[in-house]
Chains A and B, each alone.
Chain A
Amino acid sequence: MAAREREFTAPTVQLLTHEGELRPSPEAEAYLPLVEALSDAELQRFYRDMAVSRRIDVAGANLQRQGQLALWVPSHGQEAAQVGSAHAARPQDHLFPSYREHIVGMIRGLDLSRIFALLRGATLGGWNPEENGNFHLYTLVLASQTLHATGYAMGLQFDGATATGDPETDAAVLVYYGDGSTSQGDANEALVFASSYQTPQVFFIQNNQWAISVPVARQSRSPLSLRGGGFGMPGVRVDGNDVLASYAVTRQSLEEARAGDGPSLIEAVTYRMGAHTTADDPTKYRTDDEVAYWEARDPITRYRTWLEGRGASASFFSDVEAEANDIAADLRRRALELQAPTREAIFEHVYSEPHPLMVEQYAWLESFETSFEGPAGGTA
């Protein structure tokens, strides 16, 4: 018997070439109408959001270097995957991020100072998803959120909040995770449950090539998109540096989910241009050539070229730059103003119902701390 095939490939959906030409790959043809339906204002919004994301990355990294944040988690290079997918969701949809999707939160209406509060060590969470565009909390244990998203999607089904035929109210769930997370048991169990219950859900993998210092080849010998089929759902590989393709494939997948056609999986092939976090040093594990290769595929540059070709004015781009600077400056100012929580926050909300240890230990801490405070006017 001849050696069996051990190479696995998947075609990539790409609408916008690296050079910024709208020239759909064969797999992308079917998605073209979704892009053609976008207005100029929507197309410009995509650019604006990507530019804002990149500018915020600079502000976040600076704050960390200046000791104002414990950590910054950059999105540089992944803007198209994030912005395109986020704009594919409808207001009633629920989005479960990993911890790198700052611009997705902003698109859903989250005040990004809440994310700065999280990274500054002022909170363990930071926002109420119900009041922030159904953008759920960041989850730091990798892939845990894939199961929460799946359970939430089961709940939408049980409630009859999806697949009624009304696209204005039918809801779906969009969950983000990365190439590293695909190796976690939870990510795989989530695909099992989603497929079993046919949840209204889209799994959006940002394959940014690196799980901190380990390349995606260590996680998977085959394109991650192929995992969809193994679990009984469509899997699509998309050029994640193409905002139009990221938008269109996610839009189509979410619409199928809302219509009751079941879950699907998207692998957005992208690249983390910066470090994993500000605690990382990518020069230790990857080459300049590799970085140069991806720089030539930058998501913002190619999209700008395309918009310019369609007649976008120079003032549009300079206005966006000014707006991004304003947003970053405002976030920086408010990050510096964030107050540390008071010590009772340690004990608050650990439980929903009264708990004797919370009462006893807070009372003890309070009396311990106040024992160091002298009488008014006394010397320290």
Chain B
Amino acid sequence: MPDQLLFAIEVTMNGLMAGVLYALVALGFVLIFKASGIFNYAQGVMALFAAMTLVGIQNGQVPFAHLINAVFGTEVHHFGWHVPAILAILLTACVMVLFAWIVERYVLKHLVGQPDIILFMATIGLAYFMEGFGDLMWGADIKKLDVGLPQGGSFWLEENTAWLGGEGFYGFFIDKLDMVATVVAAILVASLVAFSQYTKQGRAMRAVADDHQAALSVGVSLRFIWVLVWSLAGFVALVAGIMWGAKSGVQFSLSLIALKALPVLMLGGFTSIPGAIVGGLIIGVGEKLFEFLIGAPFLGGATENWFAYMLALLFLVFRPQGLFGEKIIERV
């Protein structure tokens, strides 16, 4: 096989893996948007907050240490223990559920029936609040997240694929973390789909997503479903936070991955779980291949920064509901 083609295949595979990570973030948006029509601007910050909390719990950090020290003149930093990764992840999941409950109880409940833009503004407020609250709770320094996921290129894959090409080809380079992320994302999506299709709570969730009034009339509590949906979105944020955090450290820029999820949503449609996955993969592969084939040779590179948004713009013009979204038909 010509080396050029092999490189293109490698780029495509890496694009797919990157796409999975985009899809993970987009998934959180879709869950909340479907069930409540709210575009949750805070989704990215939720991923950051979840990652910070996970690191904090794992390292036995004292929450609000700076605040406590400043008020009481103490010198506390760490409890001096380390929590195993699995337990820390479970505890963080509990924190995200608690967070979902608080959001419903103190924010959403008071905004029922308000126009969408008000709810959107509320989530912007929520995003800034969480960002500050997270810093206050766990400190604003860049943290290393290590839950024992394998990292670095897979030598096995490189060695066993090197024969495909000639002298200049050393085999496919794929980060092990990306592979893990792909497997985790696949499991996560499969269980989310199974949950919404086959369980009582999942059916109730779909009912609420479809029609609030009808859902009430068959005995579904909207408030319970909203807590459930925000918990699920929090859980998805946690998974995204772990993957991105392990890749590039837990820091403020983590919350900006939410911006990458926007074009994914425009491609896949705001209301479709499979759409979020396919949209993520298309963006991931698209931006890597575009950079490889056109960007680097002809445009001076760095096209990855804007390619996704250009693609989203094209979709907005020609297919505003996305690939899988519900077609919007207004009756006149």
> Are A and B co-members of a single complex?
no
